[in-house]
Structure 1
Amino acid sequence: MGIFNNAALARPEAHQQVPGTTMPKSPINTKKWWKYRNLRALNLWLLIPLLSIYAQGFDGSMMNGLQSVTNWQTYFGTPKGATLGIFNAANPIGGVIGTFLIAPVSDRWGRRVGLCFGAVLCCLGAALQGGATDIAMFVVSRGVIGCGSIIVAGCGAPYITEIAHPEQRSTATALFLTFYSVGSVTAGWCTFGTFRIDGSASWRIPSALQGLPSLIQIIFVWFVPESPRWLVSVGRNEEALAMLVKYHGEGDPQDPVVLFEYNEITNALEEEKEIARNTFIGSAKEFVSGAGNRKRVAVMVWAAICSQMSGNAFVSYYLSPILSSVGLTSDLQQTLINATSQMVSWFSALYFATLPAKVGRRTLFLWSITAMWIVVISITAGSAMFAQNNNNKAAGYAVVVFLYIFSPAYNLGWNGNLGLYIPEILPFHLRTKGLSFFYFVQLCFQILSTFAVPIGLENIHWRFYTIFVVWIMVEFVGVYLLFPETKGPSLEDIAYIFDGPPATKDYGNAEEKAVEEMKG
């Protein structure tokens, strides 16, 4: 699963829930946005930052596909166990480094520069990967790609939220999350199309193509309007207002939505200047002081563990050895299954992104864990039956079916639903720091998962799955006991769930003051 920056994942409607005010109705019919010249241009330019999460989706699917390509296996000496783990873990290791560069680059020089900087690293990594001459060069290139892709995603995500029309931010956020699967689908079919090529070009072409979306971003990001929030943060208020007037008001400086947005941005940033004076140590102490904040930390850590340790590394990075273990060994079979399973994952992610507001966050987490548990049990049983009798084709095919089902089971609770849940349980003044902590923990467990899985598969084969059968049951208990439901309440009421009425009032002060200033 990919890692996203906090600003994009915070609920776009949060600003509309400030007590005492509501977002005015736009004179523009955003449901028919294509009829408005500037809004149409803005939504089309949004495709550039939407590509930001594409690289992460491409990576996992490509590595799945390459492990099914005979020429790649031969060239690198058929890597297994710890060696194969290093191949895949290099990407999140680079990502850990990248998380420390997101804010300094994008906050100082702007979202466009930050996105371009990450994209340049992705292109450099893809060039090194496509031209790799040995294992060391390939591993280093993957670390560079991991660093760049995290920066691109971390800059691109808030960029979308900050420039999209306020009535379309929810849709834009949901689309951003689904582009991970778009990258997976593209990589799956790319490796399926090149595995027949005789020679190293069969794996060099998809390896180099990983940089194509980043190259597109480098060229066209300068045509995308800069974030008005960032412009205000560096004192370029007139440019920020001009951007809002042009793209959100179709050139009307008296558009009520534009005036509301501009006042909201300027007032909120004034409040954040006061909050930003807190030291890092002071913020860290605040996270461990008080029962409410300690519970938030526990929820974030458990969510990070569940999102990476539920067996999803099997499907994301190690589909090839699993398919080989049930008798599906040909390049054609494995690359085709990889490509088509990614399409199933994409379609499910699109639909499940609509469920959190209807069903509830906690409910989806529990349903998802239950579904994954059933799927992992089925994969384990089918693999065991095939290991006992290699002529039992039905058992092998059953494993394949449940491998297809695993991604939808995971996406049900741990894709878009997780992206909404973590930001909304954090109070206003701790949201950025809390999400940075969450991403760091998530990446650490991603490294552990991608490194440990191939070793387990090599040493104990299908029996390795039984670990996840037991562990997923533990995850269910943890979510059931720790995770409160957040469907329905405003951000202030969610703070009340954790801290009680006094904390709710404190956490709402920043936004309430902004409203009072606007009224005055």
Structure 2
Amino acid sequence: MGSPEIKADSQEPPQPSGLPETPLNLKHWWRLKNLRTLNILLLIPLLSIFAQGFDGSMMNGLQSVSHWQSYFGTPTGALLGFFNAAYPLGGIFGVFLISPMADTYGRRVGLATGAALCCLGAALQGGATNMAMFIISRIIIGAGSVVVAGVGAPYITEVAHPAQRSTATALFLTFYSVGSIVAGWSTFGTFRIDGTASWRIPSSLQAAPSIIQLLFVWFVPESPRWLVSQGRNDEALAILVKYHGEGNSNDPVVQFEYEEIQSALSSEKNISQMTIVSFLRELVSGPGNRRRTFIMVWAAICSQMSGNAFVSYYLSPILRSVGLKSDLQQTLINATSQMVSWFSALYFATLPARLGRRTLFLWSLVLMWGVVICITAGSAVFDRDMNKAAGYSVVVFLYLFSPCYNLGFNGNLGLYIPEILPFHLRTKGLSFFYFVQFCFMILSTFAVPIGLEDIQWRLYIIFVGWIMVEFAGVYFIFPETKGPTLEEIASIFDAPGARFRNVEAGQVKREIEHIN
């Protein structure tokens, strides 16, 4: 009864290319005691993106709460933009903590560091007595949330069973929507309170996932790849045997993983000797790293400049612009739209392993482009003749925007960036990615309220044209990474003369050409 369940070949889903066959039945992984435990424990790093989702939805909700508006003097335009930009500003500071903590002290310590900062920021935010205190608290939360996000994504990628890695990592960003839902319903539930508790309660709740992480991250196994990088090979092998082989040290997948990790890390540079200068130099050294760098920059731009800022942070002024002005209407739409976002994100997290990463990026951009066109048209009609049907159509497409965004830039993006980076660049590369992403988040969150105030619905036209440019960048530069193991993906970029071509079913095969 206690022995690992042997798989039935007819039931087992396809293994990633390059992995040997495993005797375990991974389709029914919940029957495997240690793998079941591992996947439950992975919920702790999966909470890492919760704070970012909570923040956007909370700020949307607070803009609909009369007591918050009156307490802080009804901020609009540039001042409102600064309120929201404080969060990504903190994120820029936080990126410089990701690699020093996670690479030096381990993934668990890195995660705990970011969680502690989030707890501190949420406590200050909930107890804020003036505008300066509220803004400072958001800077601290921004710093902490980018640390937990920058550590959490590679942590999951490196600890998950290789046959489940793509789905587990893709699920990471779906917890953005979980945070959004909690924030949306908390502001909907408290806006009726007559007093500052109407906004202090949701502001304080932002600490909840970080408290859970601080308490339970120590039960999650450390990354075997980090342990090998520290010379703790026996500990790394023991973790792989326990959680990926159900205690069987001769499991072919375990032996393959261990040998591949050792081989990959032995050929990579010593991460402890890599300074910021040498890291930046490596980002542009060689065609593989230059391609990685462009992808990280372009993905960061697409994730923030596709029109999602006015849905994530400025839903309230958009709803007011189409005639929906009551606290009840706005907080209810904010809360229910986040639920639609989460359900779509959960399903879409299963698609990268089946359809491929690049395919999802492209379709996501196409669908967002269509939705933004419809939002623009509906807003223009409502502005011209106050047509209620046009106003309601804008609301419908606001609901649809998040699922379209999630298709390519939720779980799929959370999987793609960590897996294109080799181990010695993974946390530093994610730090760089988040640095670029938060820079554009500042630009977007600061500029959008000014644009909405000055040119109103015409602002959306900019995004209609820009998404087409984003599509072209993804189409010509982003390679497919569906199929290969984590270490093999590094070879796709770094092998001499490597180039990519798409083949049937969205797969990409590597062709290596040795130049004489």
Q: Compute the TM-score of the two structures, normalised by the length of structure 1.
A: 0.85
**1:27–1:506 distance in 2 versus 1, CA, 3 Å:** same
Shift of the 397–134 alpha-carbon distance from structure 1 to 2, 3 Å rule, reads: same
Name the structure 2 match of 1:249: 245
Cα distance 1:417–1:192, how it changes in 2: closer, same or farther (>3 A)?
A: same
1:385 and 2:367 equivalent? Answer: no
Q: Hey, what's the Cα distance between the residues in 2 that align with 1:149 and 1:360?
A: 28
The answer to whether residue 83 in structure 2 is matched with residue 87 in structure 1 is yes
AA partner of residue 467 (structure 1): I
Letter in 2 for 1:105: M
Match of 1:66 in 2: 62
CA distance in structure 2 between the partners assigned to 1:137 and 1:466 by the alignment: 36
Q: 1:360 to 1:65 in 2, by over 3 A?
A: same
Aligned-residue offset at 1:321: 0.6
User: Is 1:168 the equivalent of 2:155?
Assistant: no
Q: Deviations over 1:69-128 (max 9, x none)?
A: 111111111111111111111111111111110111112222221111111110100000
The reply on whether 1:42 has 2:38 as its aligned counterpart is yes
Distance in 2 between the 1:282 and 1:504 partners? Answer: 30
What SS does the aligned partner of 2:164 have? helix
Query: Which runs of structure 2 are paired with 1:78-477 in the superposition (5 Å)?
Result: 78-273=74-269, 281=277, 284-285=280-281, 287-288=283-284, 294-390=290-386, 392-422=387-417, 434-477=429-472
Deviations 1:275-306 (A, max 9, x none): 87666545544544566655554444333222
Secondary structure of 1:167's match? coil
Counterpart for residue 493 of structure 2: 495
Identify unmatched segments of 5+ residues in structure 2.
1-14, 501-509
Aligned CA distance change for structure 1 residues 165 and 66 (closer, same or farther; 3 Å): same
Once the two structures are superposed, residues 33-73 of structure 1 have per-residue CA deviations (whole angstroms, 9 ceiling, x without a partner) of 33233332222222111111111111111111111111111
CA distance in 1 between partners of 2:193 and 2:417 (Å): 44
Bigger CA drift: 402-411 or 420-429? 420-429
Quick one: which amino acid aligns to residue 192 of structure 2? R
Percent identity (aligned): 73
Q: Following the alignment from structure 1 to structure 2, what is the Cα–Cα distance between the partners of residues 309 and 112?
A: 32
Q: Distance in 2 between matches of 1:228 and 1:482?
A: 31
Matched AA of 1:202 = S
Contact map agreement 1:227 1:240 (CA 8 A) in 2: yes
Give, in whole Å, the separation in 1 of the partners of 2:89 and 2:358: 30
Q: Counterpart amino acid of 1:442?
A: Q
After TM superposition, the structure 1 = structure 2 runs for residues 476-487 of structure 1, keeping only pairs within 5 Å, are: 476-483=471-478
1:216 Cα shift?
A: 1.0
Contact 2:154 2:426 in 1 (8 A): no
For the 8 Å contact 1:427–1:495, the answer to whether it is kept is no
What number of residue pairs does the alignment pair up?
A: 488
Describe the shift of the 1:498–1:473 C-alpha distance in structure 2 as closer, same or farther (beyond 3 A).
Answer: farther
Q: Structure 1: any 5+ residue segments left out of the alignment?
A: 1-14, 508-520
Matched residues in 1 for 2:211 and 2:471: separation?
42
Answer whether contact 2:46 2:175 (CA < 8 A) is retained.
yes
Displacement, 1:314?
0.8
Stretch deviating more after TM superposition (377-386 or 338-347): 377-386
Q: Is the 8 A contact 2:167 2:353 kept in 1?
A: no
Task: Check conservation: 1:295, 1:498, Cα contact below 8 A.
Answer: no
Q: Distance in 1 between matches of 2:171 and 2:285?
A: 37
Q: Distance in 2 between matches of 1:325 and 1:99?
A: 36
Shift in Å, 1:362: 4.1
Q: CA RMSD in A?
A: 3.0
| AA aligned opposite 2:204 | A
Distance 1:356 1:171 in 2: 7
Q: Which has the higher helix share?
A: 1
Equivalence for 2:507 = none
Report the more deviating stretch, 225-234 or 206-215. 225-234
Query: Are residues 36 and 401 of structure 1, via their aligned partners in 2, closer, same or farther at CA, if it must alter by over 3 Å?
Result: same
Q: Is the 8 A contact 1:380 1:463 kept in 2?
A: yes
Task: Please report how far the alpha carbon of residue 310 of structure 1 lies from its aligned counterpart in structure 2 after TM superposition.
Answer: 1.3
1:32 to 2:28 alignment:
yes
Q: 2-side partners of 1:377 and 1:359: how far apart?
A: 26
CA separation of 1:242 and 1:348: change in aligned 2, threshold 3 A: same
The answer (yes or no) to whether the contact 1:90–1:142 under 8 Å persists in 2 is yes
Letter in 2 for 1:226: E
Q: CA deviation at 1:463?
A: 2.1
**Residue by residue, what CA displacement relative to the aligned partner does 1:387-427 show, whole Å, maximum 9, x if unpaired?**
2333x211111110111111122222322333444456567
User: Aligned to 1:176, what secondary structure does the other structure show?
Assistant: coil
The residue type paired with residue 226 of structure 2 is W
Change (3 A) 1:428 1:54: closer
Deviation at 1:333, TM superposition (A): 0.7
Task: Tell me the amino acid that sits aligned with residue 370 of structure 1.
Answer: V
Instruction: Determine if contact 2:492/2:498 at 8 Å carries over to the other structure.
Output: no
Q: Shift in Å at residue 506 of structure 1?
A: 10
What per-residue deviation string (whole Å, max 9, x for no partner) do you get for residues 191-235 of structure 1? 111111111101100100110111111111222222222223323
Query: 2:455 is paired with a residue of what secondary structure?
Result: helix
Higher mean alpha-carbon deviation, 378-387 vs 478-487, is at 478-487
Aligned twin of 1:511: none
Q: CA deviation at 1:469?
A: 2.4
Equivalent residue of 2:172, what SS?
helix
C-alpha displacement at 1:480, in angstroms? 4.2
